[in-house]
Structure 1
Amino acid sequence: MSDIMTEKIDFLPGTTTKYPQKLLNLAVTIWFIVTTIGQWAFGIYIIAFYGASTASGELERWNEVLPHGYVKGDWKGNLIVGTHVLLAAILVVGGPLQLLASLRRSAPRIHRWLGRVYVSTAVIVATGGFIMVWTRGAVGDTVQHVSISIQTVYIIIFAWLAWRCARAGQFEKHRKWAMRLFMVVSGVWFFRVGLMCWLVINGGPAGFDQRTFSGPFLTALAVLVYALPVSLLLLELYFYARKAIKPVEITAIALLIFMVAVLMAIGVFGAIAGMWLPRIG
């Protein structure tokens, strides 16, 4: 966003939208910093936990996090799970880098090649996740399973549109579809951060059963993260605010993005302290 997701916004001297747009740039910059810290922390956790357990041959440790993640004798299923999880590290590390306009300008070849890897990996990981949900006995209820399956459709469609627009030289459209792709690819991360934010604010589980990992809160969270992504709504509001001329609209959207960034920061802190660090410590 601003120099992160798109080009910087230029202002005419004396325009009434100058300061609201600066506020918007500040809000999305904070959002991006929080997201980058959170996603890279998640990537370090993936590599440290799954990579180390895989390298040491202790594949059964996957089941500490993923129920039925490792099934003895099922080498095909285990390969799908392992590939899905370890490739996810590429997405959470490479995703924020792809949003940097400065990287796109200074190192376009790196941006293009990383983009190709990101798009291909996103499709592979999403497909692997779909297979895992319906063949490995994933936790949660049917609504959660259907919601994350819908996310797979989003990822495949957005990846194709981002690639097609880039091939056609329609770079403004490409950037928008790439941003939408980033939002839906980050769904699993958003779910974890949202859950940890909820736990921190409530001081523990509320609105769901820890044993079955189901309940009204988790069902609603899955729908709003995967099936009807709030992240996409926030992104479309940002697109609108960049071109809006009413200061009150721009300011309202900037404050909304800032509020979301604060909630995400709480969730990221909770995830690092309560979920990721303890498993790699």
Structure 2
Amino acid sequence: MYFYRMSDISVPSPRSIKALKIAASAWYTPVLIGQWIFVAYILYAYGGPLIAGNPAGMNAHLSDAYVQSRTFGNVAVAAHLALAVIIHFFGPLQLVPAVRAKFPAFHRWSGRAFVVTVIIVVATGAYMLVARGIGAWTLRAGFAFQGFLILWFAWQTVRYARQRKFTVHMRWATRLFLAASAVWFFRVLIMIWFVLTGGIGIDQSNGTGWFIDAMSVLQFLPVVLYEVYWRIKVGPSSRVRFAFAIFLWFAALATTVGVGLTTLGMWFPVLG
């Protein structure tokens, strides 16, 4: 029989738990705000031309967004963009504890709308990849993998919600949100890279290059970091939690800068 002293048992420090929670919220705040700015951009760049009766005006922001006589393709693009508004507006709210606690009915129904929407967006996005030939094969492979992750995470999210295992449900819902936001993270990281390096590894004439190839994988970095975060959160080491909290504060600063740069350099350059 073995006997252990209390000093031999690693007890999580309440301070480290709180520090990690605050740091995670600090990182998530610019993500939420940035996603809503992206929604405003979609409405401005694509909704504006449609309302004005000039659908071809969307091509200024997305090559071949509107192609005359290709009705099905145009509808697919329009649906993809319209549903993206739902994803990036309601999606971030799913992970806000105060919203879940104070507005449970809104959380349930907006969550269902989010899941249905991301599934439809995967389908329309798959059509756009095949019919429109977007980017190099590496970029298309990255988007295809994103679609696979979204479908897998959506299934698990719904599965555990139906089983009322809400802690596990929220872990899968977080994975789903991050996977569905991969293209958003792609834009933010691209803009940071442009500012730091002037766009090394990117051929601006056709949107290809070794950095774009790398981004096909790096756009999933938030999903990977979430897996690390979760294991540290439930782990026994207070020191590791403090260290990761510091990392999250740096990530929050980088994300804030990235959102600002993307807003002024890509989405609303007129504001710069």
Tell me if both proteins adopt one fold, taking TM over 0.5 as the criterion: yes
Confirm whether residue 213 of structure 1 aligns to residue 204 of structure 2.
Answer: no
| Counterpart residue type for residue 206 of structure 1 | I
Matches of 1:214 and 1:260, distance apart in 2 = 27
Confirm whether residue 50 of structure 1 aligns to residue 14 of structure 2.
Answer: no
| Counterpart residue type for residue 116 of structure 1 | R
State the Cα RMSD in Å.
Answer: 1.6
Q: How does 1:7-18 map to 2 (within 5 A)?
A: 17-18=13-14
Give TM-score, length-normalised by structure 1: 0.89
Q: 1:265 aligns with which of 247, 256, 260?
A: 256
Confirm whether residue 234 of structure 1 aligns to residue 225 of structure 2.
Answer: yes
Residue of structure 2 in register with 1:91 after alignment: 87
Q: Secondary structure at the match of 1:206?
A: coil
Give 1:21 shift.
2.0
Matches of 1:96 and 1:16, distance apart in 2 = 29
Matches of 2:202 and 2:82, distance apart in 1 = 29
Residue of structure 1 in register with 2:176 after alignment: 181
* Mapped contact 2:90–2:110 kept (Cα < 8 A): yes
Residue of structure 2 in register with 1:32 after alignment: 28
Q: How many residues align?
A: 262
* Offset from partner CA, 1:79-132 (integer Å, 9 cap, x none): 000010111011111111111111111111111000000000011112211210
Q: Which runs of 5+ in 2 are unaligned?
A: 1-10
| Counterpart residue type for residue 256 of structure 2 | A
Give 1:19 shift.
2.4
Matches of 1:16 and 1:184, distance apart in 2 = 30
* Mapped contact 1:200–1:267 kept (Cα < 8 A): no
Give TM-score, length-normalised by structure 2: 0.92
Q: Secondary structure at the match of 2:91?
A: helix
Matches of 2:35 and 2:132, distance apart in 1 = 25
Larger Rg computed on CA atoms: 2
Q: 1:123 aligns with which of 119, 122, 129?
A: 119
Give 1:16 shift.
5.9
| Counterpart residue type for residue 113 of structure 1 | W
Residue of structure 1 in register with 2:159 after alignment: 164
| Counterpart residue type for residue 211 of structure 1 | S
Give 1:47 shift.
1.1
* Mapped contact 1:69–1:136 kept (Cα < 8 A): no
Q: Which runs of 5+ in 1 are unaligned?
A: 1-14
Matches of 2:84 and 2:12, distance apart in 1 = 43
